[in-house]
């Protein structure tokens, strides 16, 4: 009888953990999309440099054409340039996926860019993708953009 | 006495799980780097279309400038074009990171490209990044490139 009770308990725990995992993944997806929305909102209100600094993990990198800019110093180096101060970038994820334990995930979607270089307004439209990692304090920060 | 034994057992299990997690992550990193190497080798030997098809997860996407190409059909659409048949692409990851449970990870590094468009040879050098997901059969496939 004890053996059957034990088996029943193990099965109950297993099902519970599986169900919990699905909940964790759904919650992680929601949180990533919320972080992405807040990130984009901050970029609009406070500029790209401030927003990228606020949402970057310590080991984050931003990949830009031919170079990987590493960490917050890299972000300052890339977005801190005077000609980028008035750049406008908006984006919206159309897809989100997360790891089994809901601690890592990625998004992709489309972006719109406008900025001025040497007096000329430039616009661009393309595809963005971001990798997110849950931090120790429970917040989501991007690790690659 | 029973309570102490139980606590000891729980602590032992916790430490064991933590240590196991580190092993799982280290193993996942090794496996991703091996998959990346095999992917690049196949690209060299069998061409880009074959290699991308072989290493793509069913829900994989490839992001190319202004468009997201979805699934294997998307890969065929992008890499199946006649002018891309002789393209050469080599790449080497310089970084790999994985999720807590070692089921998702990403790499980045540099690539070299050469191809011919309208009789003219073009070369390019830049940054690549790939997101990998462990499949049900234990193999690693990319979900975003």
Q: Looking at chain A, which residue has its C-alpha nearest residue B133?
A: A99
The yes-or-no verdict on residue B11 having pLDDT over 80 is no
Partners of residue B106 in chain A, C-beta under 8 Å: 106, 131, 143-144
Distance from CA of A76 to the nearest CA of B (A): 19
pLDDT of residue A64: 85
> What ipTM does this complex have?
0.86
Question: Do residue A144 and residue B106 have CB atoms under 8 angstroms apart?
Answer: yes
pLDDT of residue B2: 63
The yes-or-no verdict on residue A122 having pLDDT over 90 is yes
pLDDT of residue B38: 98
Instruction: Give the mean pLDDT of A55-68.
Output: 91
Question: Do residue B100 and residue A104 have CB atoms under 8 angstroms apart?
Answer: yes
Q: Note the pLDDT tens digit of each residue in B24-66.
A: 999 999 999 999 999 999 999 999 999 999 999 999 999 887 8
CB contact at 8 A, A83 and A74:
no
The yes-or-no verdict on residue A118 having pLDDT over 90 is no
Residues of B within an 8 Å Cβ radius of A:
59, 61, 63-68, 95, 97-101, 103-106, 108, 125-127, 129, 131, 133, 143-144
The 8-class DSSP code of residue A83 comes to G
* Banded model confidence at residue B15, pLDDT cuts 50, 70, 90: low
Instruction: Give the mean pLDDT of B122-131.
Output: 94
pLDDT of residue B29: 98
pLDDT of residue A2: 64
Q: Note the pLDDT tens digit of each residue in B80-122.
A: 998 888 899 999 999 999 999 999 999 999 999 999 988 899 9
Which of the residue ranges A11-20, A50-59, A66-75 would you say has the lowest mean pLDDT?
A: A11-20
The yes-or-no verdict on residue A85 having pLDDT over 70 is yes
Give whole-number Cα distances, B25 to A9, B19, B134, in Å.
Answer: 29, 10, 12
pLDDT of residue A54: 98
* Banded model confidence at residue A1, pLDDT cuts 50, 70, 90: low
CB contact at 8 A, A44 and A88:
yes
Say how many C-beta atoms besides its own lie within 10 A of residue B5's C-beta. 9
The yes-or-no verdict on residue A93 having pLDDT over 80 is yes
Q: Which tokens hold the place of B69?
A: 């190409």
Half-sphere exposure of A50 (CA within 13 A, CB side): 13
CA-based end-to-end distance of chain B: 56
pLDDT of residue B117: 87
- Phi/psi-derived region of residue B115, left when phi > 0, alpha when psi is between -120 and 50, beta in every other case: beta
Partners of residue A108 in chain B, C-beta under 8 Å: 61, 63, 68, 144
Distance from CA of A82 to the nearest CA of B (A): 24
In the sheet that holds A67-70, the strands lie side by side as A67-70, A56-64, A140-144, A120-134, A104-117, A88-98
* Banded model confidence at residue B3, pLDDT cuts 50, 70, 90: low
Question: Do residue B63 and residue A108 have CB atoms under 8 angstroms apart?
Answer: yes
The domains of chain A, with CATH numbers, are 2-144 (3.10.450.50)
């Amino acid at each position: 009888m004890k053996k059957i009770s034990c088996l029943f308990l193990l099965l109950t725990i297993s099902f519970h953990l599986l169900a919990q995992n699905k909940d964790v993944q759904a919650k992680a997806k929601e949180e990533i999309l919320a972080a992405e929305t807040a990130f984009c909102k901050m970029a609009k209100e406070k500029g790209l440099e401030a927003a990228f600094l606020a949402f970057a993990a310590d080991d984050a990198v931003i990949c830009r054409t031919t170079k990987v800019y590493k960490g917050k110093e890299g972000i300052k180096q890339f977005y801190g340039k005077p000609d980028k101060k008035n750049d406008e970038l908006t984006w919206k994820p159309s897809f989100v996926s997360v790891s089994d334990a809901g601690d890592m995930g990625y998004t992709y979607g489309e972006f719109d860019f406008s900025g001025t270089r040497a007096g000329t307004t430039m616009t661009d439209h393309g595809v963005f993708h971001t990798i997110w990692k849950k931090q120790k304090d429970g917040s989501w920060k991007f690790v690659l953009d």
